[in-house]
A and B are shown apart, each in its own frame.
Chain A
Amino acid sequence: MPVAGRRAYERVSLWERLKRSEHAYGFAFVAPLIFGLLVFTYGPVLAALGLSFVEGDYISISRWVGLGNYGRAFRDELFWRSLVNTTYYVIGTVPVGMALSLALAIAMNQELRGIVFYRAIFFLPTITSAVAISLMWAWMYNPEFGVINSILKMLGIKGPMWLASPRWALPAIMIMSVWRGLGYNMLLFLAGLQGIPKEFYEAAEIDGAGAWRKFLHVTFPLLSPTTFMIAILSVIGGFQVFEYSYVMTRGGPLYSTLTVVLLIYQRAFETFEMGYASALAYILFFIILVLTLIQFRGQSRWVHYEL
C-alpha cells in the first residue's frame, strides 16, 4: 500500500504539484516586486556606486578615478555651499515647523465646530504642486510690487529684496516651506493626540495638574513616538529639498539657495558629469543615513512607546 500511495503521488504532474505549493504561490505574488527591486532600486543603487568611481557623460565612461570624485566634492566650494545651505534650511524649518504644527494640532483637538472645514484649508498647500506654490510666493515676494512688501510698507517697514537678495532668499524659501508643511504635520500630530486615552488627563486633573503640567507630563511623553516620526520624516525630506530653488531662484542669487539636490541635478543633467553627480548623491545618502541613525540612537532618551 505505501508503495502504491507513493506511485499515485508521483503521477501527479509537476504543474499540479506547483499549483498546490505555497512556495510557488508566494513566488507568483512577489515576482513583479523582485524584478522591480532589482531593476529600479537595488540595481541602480549599485550602479550609482560604480559610477561614483568613474568620470564620464551619458555617452561613454572615459576613465576610472577611484575616490577622485569624492575628493573633488571635498574640495568643491559649491558643494560645501550647498551643504551649508541645506543644513541651514533643515535647522531653520524643522523645529519651527514642528512647534507650530503641534500648537495647531492641540488647538484642533479641542472639541470645536467646523474642524473638517479648517482641516481642508490647512491641507490645501500640501496637495498643491510645489511649482504652483513657488510661483505664487515668488510673486508675493516681489520686492517692488509684491503683496508682502506692500503690507510691510503700510506698517512702516521697508521690506527686504527677498528672493533677489543673497541674504534673504533662503529665509524666504524657508518661510514658505514652513507654511506649506504646517497642515501635513498638524494632521500627523492630531492623529497622535487622538490616540492618547482621556483617562490619563482625568487622572492628571485629579492629581491637581494644570494645563501646562498636563502638556509636559501627559501629552508630550505620550505623543513622543509621533514627534519622533515627524522629526525623522522632516529631516529626511528637508535634505532632499529641490523644487523650490529650482523654480524660484535656480540656486541664486550668488548660490545662496543652492541645495545639495539642486547641485546633484545640475551636475547630472546640465553639465553631464554623471560620475561626480553620483558621488554627490552617495554623500547625501550617507548624510541622511547617519542622521537617521543618530536620531534612532537618541530616541531612548525621550521617546516613550509604552502606554
Chain B
Amino acid sequence: MGALRAVDGASVQPSRRATARPYRSLRKAITSIIAKVIAYLLISITAITMIFPFYWMVSSSLKTEVEIFLVPPKWLPIPPQWNNYVYVFQQVNFGRYTYNSLKLGVLWTLGVILSSSWAAYGFARVRFWGRDTLFIITLAAMMIPGQVTMIPMFLLMNKIGWVNTHYPLWVPAWFGSAFGIFLMRQYFLTIPQELCDSAKIDGCTHFGIFWRIMMPLSKPALASLALLSFMGSWNNLLGPVIYLYDESLFTLPLGLTRFSGMYVTYWAYTMAGATITVIPILIVFIFTQQYFVRGVVLSGLKG
C-alpha cells in the first residue's frame, strides 16, 4: 500500500514532491538522530545495569575478608586474592559438581534432541491412525506445571530405587519433550517433501529418510534445541534438590546452594563459588550465541 502510494505520488506530482523533500528529510534526519541518541542512552544504561551484578560478583570473589566488608566499598579488587578460589576448590568438591552437571547436561540434551526429532518425524512425515489427536495430547502436556507431576514421579522413582541416583534427572528426556517435538516438527515441515519422495523411490525407508536426510538438514534447529535443553538441565535446581542426597552426586546449582548455606557470612567464598558455576555456561554461550537467540525466539512461538 505505502510503496504503491509513494510510486503514485512520484509519478503524478513530481514538482510538488521535489520542493517538499528537503524540509521533510531534514526534519526526518533530526528526528532519527534524536531517536538514536535516546536509544543508545537507554541501551547503555541497561547494559551497565546488566553487567554490574556480574562485575560485583567477580570483584567480591577476589577480595580479602577485610576488604569485602569495607564501607564505602572498594570498587577494584587490588591485589586480587586468587587464593579464594584455591580455598573454595579445597573445601568443596566443585570439580565433582561440574562433572555431574556436565554429565547430566549431555545425557539430558542428547535424549531430548534424539527422542524429540524421532517423534517429530512421525508427526511431520508419516500418516498414521490417530496422529493429529496424539499431537494435540502432546502439546497439551506443555500446559501441565511440573509441580503437579513432581510428587507421583518421586513415588515412582522411589519404588524403582532411583532416588539418590542420577537416573531421574536424565532418563525422562529420552521419551520426548513436548516442546522439542513441536519445534522439530515445525522445522521438518519446512523441508521439501520432494526430497523424501525421491529418497523413497531410491528405496529408502522412513528410518533412512529420518537419519540421512531430515537430521542432517535440521542442524540449525537441532543446535537451538540442544542449547536450550542443556541450559535447562545445567541450571535446574528443583530436580537435584528433590532427588540427590549424597554430596558426591550434587550438581553445581545444588552444590552452590548447600555451600552458600554453610558459608553464610563468607561472601568472598560464596561469590567465588557462584563465579565458578557461571563461567562454563558463559563460554558455551559466547561461542553459540546465534543458536541461543534463535532457540529463544522459537521457544516464544509455542504460545
Interface residue ranges, A against B (CB under 8 Å): 19, 22-23, 25-30, 32-37, 39-45, 47-48, 51, 58, 103-104, 106-108, 110, 112, 116, 118-133, 135-137, 139-140, 142, 144-145, 147, 150, 153-154, 179, 182-184, 187-188, 191, 199-204, 206, 211, 226, 228-230, 232-233, 236, 240, 242-243, 246-247, 261, 264-265, 268-269, 274, 277-278, 281-282, 284-285, 288-289, 292
Find out whether the CB atom of B2 lies under 8 angstroms from the CB atom of A206.
yes
List, in ascending order, chain A residues with CB within 8 A of B238's CB.
Answer: 242-243, 265
20 A/B residue pairs, CB under 8 Å, sorted by A? A23-B128, A25-B126, A26-B128, A32-B115, A32-B176, A33-B175, A37-B137, A103-B42, A104-B46, A107-B42, A129-B235, A131-B256, A131-B274, A132-B57, A139-B56, A183-B50, A243-B237, A268-B150, A269-B241, A274-B151
Task: Name A184's closest neighbour in chain B (CB-CB).
Answer: B296
Find out whether the CB atom of A145 lies under 8 angstroms from the CB atom of B148.
no
Pick from A129, A137, A232: contact of B303, CB below 8 A: A232
Within 8 Å of chain A (Cβ to Cβ): is B138? yes
List, in ascending order, chain A residues with CB within 8 A of B115's CB.
Answer: 32-33, 36
List, in ascending order, chain A residues with CB within 8 A of B277's CB.
Answer: 129, 131-132
Could you say which of B152, B155, B252, B270 has the most chain A C-beta atoms within 10 Å of its C-beta?
A: B152
Task: Name A187's closest neighbour in chain B (CB-CB).
Answer: B296
List, in ascending order, chain B residues with CB within 8 A of A230's CB.
Answer: 300, 303
Find out whether the CB atom of B143 lies under 8 angstroms from the CB atom of A292.
yes
Stretch in B69-77, B83-91, B191-199, B216-224 with 4+ CB within 8 Å of A: B69-77
Pick from A116, A203, A229, A247: contact of B1, CB below 8 A: A203
Q: In whole angstroms, what is the CA distance A107 to B121 when docked? A: 40
- Given known A-B contacts A112-B40, A232-B303, A129 and B149 have beta carbons under 8 A apart: no
Interface residue ranges, B against A (CB under 8 Å): 1-3, 5-6, 9, 31, 35-36, 38-40, 42-43, 46-47, 49-51, 53-54, 56-57, 60, 68-73, 115, 118-119, 121-123, 126-129, 131, 134, 137-138, 141, 143-156, 158, 172, 174-176, 181, 205-206, 210, 231, 234-235, 237-238, 241-242, 252-253, 256-257, 260, 267, 270-271, 273-274, 277-278, 281-282, 285-286, 289, 292-293, 296-297, 300-301, 303
User: Least Cβ distance of B255 to chain A in Å?
Assistant: 9
